[in-house]
Structure 1
Amino acid sequence: ITRLTTDVTNLQNAFQMIIRMAARGPVILVFSLSAAFSIDAKLSLIFLGAIPVLGVGLYFVMTRCHPIFKRVFKTYDKLNLIVQENIHGIRVVKSFFREDHEIKKFKDVSKDIHDDFKKAESIIAFNMPLVQFVMFATMLLLSWFGARAIVASGNNPALGLSTGQLMSLMTYTMQILMSLMMLSMVLVMISISRASAERIAELLQEESTLENPQNPIYEIPHGEIRFENVTFRYSDESEKPCLDTVDLRINSGETVGILGGTGSSKTTLVQLIPRLYDVVEGRVTVGGNDVREYDLKTLRDEVSMVLQKNVLFSGTIKENLRWGDETASEEEIIRVCRLAQADEFIQKFPKRYDTYIEQGGSNVSGGQKQRLCIARALLKKPKVLILDDSTSAVDTKTDAKIKKAMYEEIPDTTKIIIAQRVSSVQDADKIIVMDEGKIMDVGSHQELLERNEIYQEVYRSQVKGGNDDE
């Protein structure tokens, strides 16, 4: 956020100053120096002695300030993060009565920024006294040597320097030193904005490692998915892979459930299908072709994914749903909402499908948000539909209705369902049990109950929990 706000503002201010002062300053300096040398070349050499003094002083200011400003903007990132966390988690902060702790954390970071800026400004403040010292020292030297030259020439321009010429030199001195002052201000502003420019450049130069191949495939024939000896890690530095030598085949049109504990890499597995990440070893195929051979837009249009964290944007329900298909008619929108069991609650809103969704979907419940996101994904008419724990906030009855509607209405679509509840996946054609990045077993509900300990443990704990509740 800091790179998009504070850094951009610093760069804008620097640019506005540079285009005014950096254009005028050098022109005034060159013409004033030329005029001064045409009057008296020897006396004008004083200016050439003043410029290196200013240069050394400005070099000191810039080299000392740049590391401080670089550190300040990183601290700004931390400050913005604290503010963002507190805004999003204000209810949690209040419920745990942590207001004083969060205020102290904010003040500590603010103090770091204050101290760094104070230190930087104290160094920058050295710039103005230096310029004024050089200015008045130059005028004193010109007055001293000029007066002696006038006395020696008897105030005769033909023999040496006259009073009028000395006054002209004084005028040019003011012009030269004012231009040097402008340039010094420009250089100081550059030292401030340099850190911001570097941070913005880092952002602009960041390139995605996921690129279209030279001759991409623009059509996915069917929804068959294969994982062939797939190994994946998020970082090259990670010793242990998130997925380790995974082999899996999902036939087109199958409904597949994925079950496993937290951290078993269920989400990581399915994120490789729409190529949100590339595998480290092995390959993932959809429709018989490696996902890296497809055009990215084609692949992601045909592999629709509803993420764990459901996101809705500011706008009407229609506008949010049309992220799936911009040209979708109202009838198509209603159809997918009925499939996702969203039409029922939408019809209760006064404006129905024209109801405005606040930022982040804050004016709808968690379950309603999930159903809208499922409807949005269905609107793409994908060959592969992935639901990543996307019905966790929906009651069991509604969850069952959604699954039933999918089985009946989109039988040719390959459906992958990640869930924590056995009831959400027990009717699937096959269920994948994962643990620590490996596929431990694949089979139907009944087969896994007979032979897989992990599945048995999850099933029994949920059945027992359900009986206890009853």
Structure 2
Amino acid sequence: MWRYTMKYKGLVFLNFLSVFGFILIELGLPTLLAKMIDNGIAVNDFGEVKYYGMIMIAICLIGLVALMFLAYCGSKITTSIVRDIRDDIFEKTQSFSHREYDQFGVSSLVTRTTNDAFQVMQFMQMILRMGMMTPLMFISSFIMIVRTSPSLSWVVFAAIPFLLIGVLLIGKKSEPLSESQQSNLDAINLNLRENLTGLRVIRAFVNEKFQEKRFKVVNDAYATVSKKLFKLMAYAQPGFSVVFNIIFAVVIWLGVGQINTGDLQVGNLIAFIEYIFHALFSFMLFANVFMMYPRAAVSAHRIEEVLATEPVITENENGITETKTHGYLTFENVTFAYPGNTETPIIRDVSFSSKPGETIAFIGSTGSGKSTLIQLIPRFYDVTKGRILLDGVDVRDYKLSALRKKIGYIPQKALLFTGTIAENMRYGKWNATTGELEEASDIAQAKEFISLKPAQYDELLAEGGSNMSGGQKQRLSIARAIVKKPDVYIFDDSFSALDYQTDAKLRARLKSETKEATVLIVAQRVGTIMHADKILVLNEGEVIGMGTHKELLKTCDVYYDIAASQLSKEELA
């Protein structure tokens, strides 16, 4: 937290000076009031009253300016801190591989970026205003207490140990509650995210009540912990008030006795009470800061976890950025297992090669490892054994951004961003011309439905492209990759939402467009891949068949069974 705060040293210094201005008004006024009473009012000297009154007005004006600067500096620093933290978290998560996303969870990362950063901001706001002010106020008040009446100061000293014990106990008990509270907030975000993204499925299965019960469980858990935490904090103020009132009662009782004996003046007693009030009030404010610390520390730790996590797949700044050849791909004995589960690989000893103009297809049962296999090329994950060569270079030796610029990836679930159709299509090439967009949309069989939109390429897409059909979203995703003109096209079951006629037209156009690139297609439909130059049949992560459609019908029983379930007898012949 201080690392971010000290980026704004000038504002912190001005904040510190403003604290002194506040202390001046808070302690200067009771001191001057005591002198006004004893030297002016008590002896009927109006001149002295007027003199001290003018000084008090001047101090009030100075204090007002100081308070304005204090409020400005505190707000400016804390808003800048939370902005910097969120920028850094976002930048860090952009560098994460899929492994780190799996480790934290998307919902937890959202909570850390929003709520945890806000908790840190609130705490730093307290620190900059109260954390700096209260220790100085407390020390200054104690000096004035001892100077005004040493014989009464023991009352305050006697109460301090009780107050300290209370603060420490509350701080110790609040830390585990704060950790539990933030974890429960992660669960709420996860549940809410699932509920919103899966709304159509929930309604289709008429499971709204079930989802409400699920949400109620995590929400009640959060509420229960929050109640315990807030109750704990709520006990502090009445506890402090009881101690304060006892101190004030004892001081007034002893002070009246000293006035009767002539050892203390009325003005000094009033000033003494004011000093005690400031000292104890400062202590209470500082105690609030201290009690907020465990909660902020939990949030800061959660943020630091993200920032300190080093991604297993890094940018490789000294990596290769250019190659002489384009579109050559080779898998050499590739094996992959998820981290921590190396004994059960998802992919086992896969080898194949392709050259520009070729189409390589992957087919197999659900869970056979098709999508995982192609995700190794852009290094969403790294191979466990073996290597993948793109244009003769191991993908791990590329600069990561350069590697991914060579690849046009179209995922299983078509993802579009909020914005216009044109902005989405230019996502891989921001300087693409209107002509390039039209050509890409024509190849992807998207031009027809785009032309029917009122704003055409400037048509706004809703969040996730929810105002488009599944087939339209897939065609726009394909068009986005075509605009990029990569060396390798990866279609991860990207034709599943298309009808057979559109599928056939699109593949025919793609064939001529991708003569200088390798095309990889993951598919469930044999009709989509039967014209591929090479088809790999996967089963439980292993290649059990490789060849053309006709070759595999004769040599691979698994492929024949898949084809037989989808094609007519004439097509199998």
Q: TM-score, normalised by structure 2?
A: 0.76
The residue that corresponds to 2:319 in the other structure is 216
Question: Pick from 496, 507, 510: which aligns with 1:392?
Answer: 496
Mapping of residues 440-459 of structure 1, within 5 Å: 440-459=544-563
Deviation readout 1:361-381 (Å, 9 max, x if unpaired): 111111111111011011111
The residue that corresponds to 1:196 in the other structure is 299
Mapping of residues 273-292 of structure 1, within 5 Å: 273-292=377-396
Residue 566 of structure 2 aligns to a residue in which SS?
helix
**RMSD over equivalenced CA pairs, Å:** 2.2
The residue that corresponds to 2:115 in the other structure is 6
CA shift, 1:272, in A, is 0.9
Seen in structure 2, the aligned counterparts of structure 1 residues 218 and 126 have a Cα distance that, compared at 3 Å, is same
The residue that corresponds to 2:409 in the other structure is 305
Mapping of residues 29-44 of structure 1, within 5 Å: 29-41=138-150, 43-44=152-153
The residue that corresponds to 1:179 in the other structure is 282
CA shift, 1:141, in A, is 4.2
Deviation readout 1:170-206 (Å, 9 max, x if unpaired): 2211110111111112222333333333223323333
Deviation readout 1:57-81 (Å, 9 max, x if unpaired): 1111111112112212221222222
Deviation readout 1:199-251 (Å, 9 max, x if unpaired): 23323333322113252111133211122222212222453011122222223
Mapping of residues 399-410 of structure 1, within 5 Å: 399-410=503-514
The residue that corresponds to 1:53 in the other structure is 162
Residue 364 of structure 1 aligns to a residue in which SS?
coil
Residue 279 of structure 1 aligns to a residue in which SS?
coil
The one-letter code sitting in structure 2 at the alignment partner of 1:190 is Y
Deviation readout 1:314-344 (Å, 9 max, x if unpaired): 1111111000210001111111111111112
Question: Pick from 406, 414, 425: which aligns with 2:529?
Answer: 425
The one-letter code sitting in structure 2 at the alignment partner of 1:315 is G
- Which shifted more, 103-112 or 318-327? 103-112
Seen in structure 2, the aligned counterparts of structure 1 residues 239 and 465 have a Cα distance that, compared at 3 Å, is farther
Do residues 249 (structure 1) and 353 (structure 2) align?
A: yes
CA–CA separation in structure 1 for the residues paired with 2:317 and 2:424: 33
**Contact residue 254 and residue 429 of structure 1 kept, 8 A:** yes
The one-letter code sitting in structure 1 at the alignment partner of 2:283 is L
CA shift, 1:32, in A, is 0.8
Do residues 374 (structure 1) and 478 (structure 2) align?
A: yes
The residue that corresponds to 1:240 in the other structure is 344
CA–CA separation in structure 1 for the residues paired with 2:544 and 2:355: 19
Mapping of residues 271-350 of structure 1, within 5 Å: 271-350=375-454
Seen in structure 2, the aligned counterparts of structure 1 residues 264 and 144 have a Cα distance that, compared at 3 Å, is same
CA shift, 1:405, in A, is 1.2
CA–CA separation in structure 1 for the residues paired with 2:426 and 2:127: 45
CA shift, 1:464, in A, is 5.2
Query: What percent of counterpart residues are identical?
Result: 38
CA–CA separation in structure 1 for the residues paired with 2:385 and 2:359: 26
Seen in structure 2, the aligned counterparts of structure 1 residues 214 and 364 have a Cα distance that, compared at 3 Å, is closer
The one-letter code sitting in structure 1 at the alignment partner of 2:393 is N
Residue 515 of structure 2 aligns to a residue in which SS?
coil
The one-letter code sitting in structure 2 at the alignment partner of 1:412 is E
**Contact residue 553 and residue 560 of structure 2 kept, 8 A:** yes
CA shift, 1:447, in A, is 1.1
The one-letter code sitting in structure 2 at the alignment partner of 1:18 is I
Do residues 365 (structure 1) and 469 (structure 2) align?
A: yes
Unaligned runs of 5+ residues in structure 2 are: 1-109
Residue 565 of structure 2 aligns to a residue in which SS?
helix
Deviation readout 1:6-62 (Å, 9 max, x if unpaired): 333333333333322223212211111111222344542443333232221111111
CA shift, 1:119, in A, is 1.4
The residue that corresponds to 2:309 in the other structure is 206
- Which shifted more, 12-21 or 396-405? 12-21
The residue that corresponds to 1:155 in the other structure is 262
CA–CA separation in structure 1 for the residues paired with 2:204 and 2:331: 45
The one-letter code sitting in structure 1 at the alignment partner of 2:170 is V
The residue that corresponds to 1:22 in the other structure is 131
Do residues 103 (structure 1) and 207 (structure 2) align?
A: no
Seen in structure 2, the aligned counterparts of structure 1 residues 8 and 281 have a Cα distance that, compared at 3 Å, is same
The one-letter code sitting in structure 1 at the alignment partner of 2:132 is A
Do residues 130 (structure 1) and 239 (structure 2) align?
A: yes
Query: When the two structures are aligned, how many residues end up with a matched partner?
Result: 461
The one-letter code sitting in structure 1 at the alignment partner of 2:163 is L
CA shift, 1:90, in A, is 2.3
CA–CA separation in structure 1 for the residues paired with 2:569 and 2:446: 29
**Contact residue 212 and residue 292 of structure 1 kept, 8 A:** no
The residue that corresponds to 1:170 in the other structure is 273
Seen in structure 2, the aligned counterparts of structure 1 residues 465 and 5 have a Cα distance that, compared at 3 Å, is farther
**Contact residue 417 and residue 463 of structure 2 kept, 8 A:** yes
CA shift, 1:130, in A, is 2.4
CA shift, 1:146, in A, is 4.9
CA shift, 1:420, in A, is 0.6
CA shift, 1:162, in A, is 5.3
CA shift, 1:166, in A, is 4.0
CA–CA separation in structure 1 for the residues paired with 2:157 and 2:389: 71
- Structure (1 or 2) with the greater helix fraction: 2
The one-letter code sitting in structure 1 at the alignment partner of 2:322 is E
CA–CA separation in structure 2 for the residues paired with 1:170 and 1:348: 80
CA shift, 1:453, in A, is 0.9
**Contact residue 340 and residue 372 of structure 1 kept, 8 A:** yes
The one-letter code sitting in structure 2 at the alignment partner of 1:86 is N
Seen in structure 2, the aligned counterparts of structure 1 residues 237 and 52 have a Cα distance that, compared at 3 Å, is farther
Residue 216 of structure 1 aligns to a residue in which SS?
coil
Question: Pick from 504, 511, 518: which aligns with 1:414?
Answer: 518
- Which shifted more, 231-240 or 400-409? 231-240
**Contact residue 545 and residue 555 of structure 2 kept, 8 A:** no
CA shift, 1:256, in A, is 0.6
**Contact residue 417 and residue 464 of structure 2 kept, 8 A:** yes
CA–CA separation in structure 2 for the residues paired with 1:356 and 1:164: 73
CA–CA separation in structure 2 for the residues paired with 1:141 and 1:246: 85
The residue that corresponds to 1:92 in the other structure is 201
CA shift, 1:145, in A, is 5.3
CA–CA separation in structure 2 for the residues paired with 1:391 and 1:216: 34
